Structure 1
Amino acid sequence: MDGALIGFAGCVPEIICPAREVFANPDKHTLKEAQDWSDRIYHISQAIYGGGQPSGEAHARLKEALKQRGIFSSALMRKPVLPLNQEEKDWVALGLERSQLPEVDMTQFEDK
């Protein structure tokens, strides 16, 4: 692996980090393991990037994914990026579901 989209990796570290381990050490892992991680990454990457290049709309979908996971409290974007419509939000939700990415309990990070 020569590089990564850091914003995307920061959105879904629980699938990127183990996948990197599998891809970087093929002698220690099976092809099925690599394919399983790749499949999980594929679904959420398609929901965010839709097969295209990173753009303002992709950033909005990335932020929506973080909101749906409970990490961000808002997915509001600054102009000129337009808010996502319900169909786009549903597409992000489906990508999260297919990638088996649950909501994150952020209360564990609150000051007590």
Structure 2
Amino acid sequence: MDGALIGFAGCVPEIICPAREVFANPDKHTLKEAQDWSDRIYHISQAIYGGGQPSGEAHARLKEALKQRGIFSSALMRKPVLPLNDEEKAWVALGLERSQLPEVDMTQFED
């Protein structure tokens, strides 16, 4: 793969899609369910965006999350975005862990 345009929901669809269902249908779900999904989303969103707006660095953290999950084979970014340092990679790993996001087995998609 030469490159990819990614977004937050595409990085963690298994928590975004069910959360959307809960938030879109409050009459069918409890406030506790909504809070639980929100809590899971919070950790990885903070690891990626850190409270700021999307930027090249956030895209690098998205790619790092996809690499750590086994979805991308590389988190390499094109210039002028610099590679993440070890501390930033650890922050992404912690966000994935706290959001209970496992590694993805991509072998099912191999030829």
Deviation by residue 1:14-73 (Cα, 9 ceiling, x = unmatched): 000000000000000000000000000000000000000000000000000000000000
Shift of 1:6: 7.0
- Counterpart Cα distance in 1 of 2:91 and 2:75: 15
CA contact (8 A) 2:6 2:62 kept: no
- Counterpart Cα distance in 2 of 1:85 and 1:12: 22
User: Gaps (5+ residues) in structure 1?
Assistant: none
Instruction: Call closer, same or farther: CA 1:29–1:44 in 2, change over 3 Å.
Output: same
Q: Percent identity?
A: 98
Shift of 1:74: 0.3
Instruction: Call closer, same or farther: CA 1:11–1:79 in 2, change over 3 Å.
Output: same
Shift of 1:110: 1.0
Instruction: Call closer, same or farther: CA 1:70–1:54 in 2, change over 3 Å.
Output: same
TM-score, with structure 2 as normaliser? 0.94
Instruction: Call closer, same or farther: CA 1:5–1:32 in 2, change over 3 Å.
Output: farther
Number of equivalences: 111
User: Gaps (5+ residues) in structure 2?
Assistant: none
Shift of 1:5: 12
Spell out structure 1 runs of 4+ moving beyond 3 A: 1-6
- Counterpart Cα distance in 2 of 1:73 and 1:2: 11
